[in-house]
A = this chain, B = another copy of it.
Amino acid sequence: MGQPAEELSFIERARRTQIIGAAAATIAEDGIGQASLARIAKRAGVSKGVVSYHFAGKDDLMKQVVLAVYEAGAAAMTPVIQAATTPRDRLAAYLRSNVAYIAANPEALQAVIEIVSGYSPEGGGRLFAPGDDEVIADFLVGLFREGQQDGSFRDFDPLVMAHTVRGAIDVIAPRHARHPEIDLEAYAEELVALFDAATRRESS
Q: A residues touching B (Cβ–Cβ < 8 Å)?
A: 30-34, 113-114, 117-120, 124, 126, 130, 133, 154, 156-157, 160-161, 163-164, 166-172, 174-175, 178-179, 186-187, 190-191, 193-195, 197-200, 202
Determine if B124 and A114 form an interchain contact, defined as CB atoms under 8 angstroms apart.
no
Name the residue on B nearest A199 (C-beta).
Answer: B197
A147 to B: closest C-beta gap in Å: 14
Q: Copies per complex? A: 4
A-B interface, 8 closest residue pairs, ranked by CB to CB distance from nearest? A118-B118, A33-B120, A167-B167, A167-B171, A31-B120, A198-B198, A160-B190, A164-B168
Q: How many Å lie between the Cα of A191 and that of B159 in the bound state?
A: 11
In the complex, chain B residues whose CB is within 8 Å of the CB of A193: 156
Q: With A31-B126, A197-B154, A198-B197 as given contacts, are A117 and B174 in contact (CB-CB < 8 Å)?
A: yes
Name the residue on B nearest A115 (C-beta).
Answer: B118
In the complex, chain B residues whose CB is within 8 Å of the CB of A130: 178-179
Q: How many Å lie between the Cα of A30 and that of B175 in the bound state?
A: 26
Name the residue on B nearest A197 (C-beta).
Answer: B198
Name the residue on B nearest A29 (C-beta).
Answer: B124
Determine if A156 and B31 form an interchain contact, defined as CB atoms under 8 angstroms apart.
no
- Of the A-B pairs whose beta carbons lie under 8 Å apart in the complex, a sample of 22, sorted by A's number, is A30-B124, A32-B120, A33-B120, A113-B117, A114-B117, A118-B118, A118-B120, A130-B179, A154-B197, A156-B190, A156-B194, A157-B187, A160-B194, A161-B190, A163-B168, A163-B172, A164-B194, A166-B171, A167-B169, A195-B198, A197-B198, A197-B199
Q: How many Å lie between the Cα of A154 and that of B202 in the bound state?
A: 15
Determine if A120 and B156 form an interchain contact, defined as CB atoms under 8 angstroms apart.
no
Determine if B124 and A32 form an interchain contact, defined as CB atoms under 8 angstroms apart.
no
Q: With A114-B117, A168-B167 as given contacts, are A160 and B32 in contact (CB-CB < 8 Å)?
A: no
Determine if B164 and A31 form an interchain contact, defined as CB atoms under 8 angstroms apart.
no
Q: How many Å lie between the Cα of A160 and that of B163 in the bound state?
A: 17
